[in-house]
Amino acid sequence: MSRMDPLFSHYLDDARRRHVLRRMRLMQPVGAGRVQVADRCFINFSSNDYLGLSQHPDVIARAQEYAARYGAGAQASRLVCGTSEMYAAVEAKLARAKGTEAALLFASGWQANAAVLPALLKLTGQGAASPQVFTDKLVHASLHQGCAAAGVKQIRFRHNDLDHLESLLQAREGTGGQRFIVTESVFSMDGDCVDVYRLAQIAQRHDAFVYLDEAHATGVLGPGGMGLSGFAPGKIDLIMGTCSKALGGFGAYVAGSRALCDYLANTCSGFIYTTALPPAVLGALDAALDLVPTMDTARVQLMANADYLRVGLQALGLETGASSTHIVPAVVGDAQQAMSLSARLETRGMLVTAIRPPTVPQGTSRLRIALSAAHTRADITSLLDALSVSLSRQETADA
């Protein structure tokens, strides 16, 4: 027993009372779009495996091939002896896919954002010359962590409000040091997009460095499915993304100029002081990068299914916000109601995670419905039918 257990228990009891206690359950994927919990199979609407590549035979085969050829682990950090020809080849392929000079792989998206931002921001001065960092109000927790680690105060603009961003930039014209704009191309809890082309224009007018998180766009949106940064080629200074969502594997990347990547390899603690990714992970990424450009039909169907889902949810009286992608929130409002609705769906064979504060703002608890190319139109119709019944029962219970 730890001497702090009473404090831990008090926190957990309070979280349980507020309906925000999180718990882990054992789950086993049983093919793309499905998951087994205990002895039951569910349609999985909670996964970030947007193209079903985590279960693709080519991805699995190349992961196995790389493990058999190169071993189970990388043995060391990249700057010690963890960089092989295999690593260089995958990073070069990734850079070509993103249309950049270079790319650098990281262990995870959280690690990349939390470590890369401090490395960038410390380069640009202190005091009156301190960097000005303009962030979308709803950026991911890892980006907030990166700014906090750098010791900078964020200048936050209203979510996806580029007019507000430009007004903040104009109001601070001629003050401070290097300007940075930090945002995401697709927001993971709302499923809406930033106008990347206009963002790049604003950055150019105000001499701002753009840091764009493409975690939920990579593989799914943009030219060749390689992200919305492709709509502003050469105009985004740093493109970050993950390999663990639509690409079906694990890890993260930063893509940009050769000088940027070389600088990060020399200064970014999250890169320098961590073991390189294992060969199997690189094999899976290598195969995914070959497959993604060939999957236009799957992407078109995925977005058509998302449109169908939004129409169905709105007919049930559920708000879907500004979602325009494969991520569709069904906003409920109250955390307890979101949890109850998620539980009712589970009894009908649907796994749909309830998202509550602090992940989303107070009063906006929701079901986050994440679609995959593996879902059929029949799957989505089944979800809408289950929601209709669950909502009716919840209304009856509340009455």
CATH top class, domain 57-293: alpha beta
At residue 393, the pLDDT reads 72
At residue 127, the pLDDT reads 61
**Quick one: how far is CA 62 from the chain centroid?**
24
At residue 1, the pLDDT reads 82
Range(s) of the chain covered by CATH 3.40.640.10: 57-293
Q: What is the DSSP string of 85-143?
A: HHHHHHHHHHHHHHTSSEEEEES-HHHHHHHHHHHHHGGG-SGGG--EEEEETT--HHH
> How far is it, in rounded angstroms, from Cα 48 to Cα 2?
36
At residue 318, the pLDDT reads 96
**281-290 pLDDT tens trace:** 999 999 999 9
Burial class (CB in 10 A: 0-12, 13-18, 19+), 55: middle
At residue 19, the pLDDT reads 78
Element (H, E) at 369: strand 365-370
Range(s) of the chain covered by CATH 3.90.1150.10: 26-51+296-398
Round the CA-based radius of gyration of the chain to a whole number and report it.
Answer: 22
What CATH number does domain 26-51+296-398 carry, 3.30.930.10, 3.30.590.10, 3.40.605.10, 3.90.1150.10?
3.90.1150.10
Other CB atoms within 10 Å distance of the CB of residue 354: 23
Phi, psi of 287 (to 5 degrees): -70, -40
Question: What is the model's pTM?
Answer: 0.94
The residue with tokens 């169907």 is 301
Handedness of CA 256, 226, 108, 15 (dihedral sign): positive
Which amino acids are annotated catalytic? Answer: 48, 140, 184, 188, 213, 216, 245
Strand partners, 106: 252
Residues of the chain with pLDDT under 70: 125-128, 394-399
Q: Could you give the C-alpha distances from 137 to 62, 146, 171, 181, 182, in angstroms and in order?
A: 40, 15, 18, 12, 10
At residue 340, the pLDDT reads 93
Per DSSP, 77 falls in state B
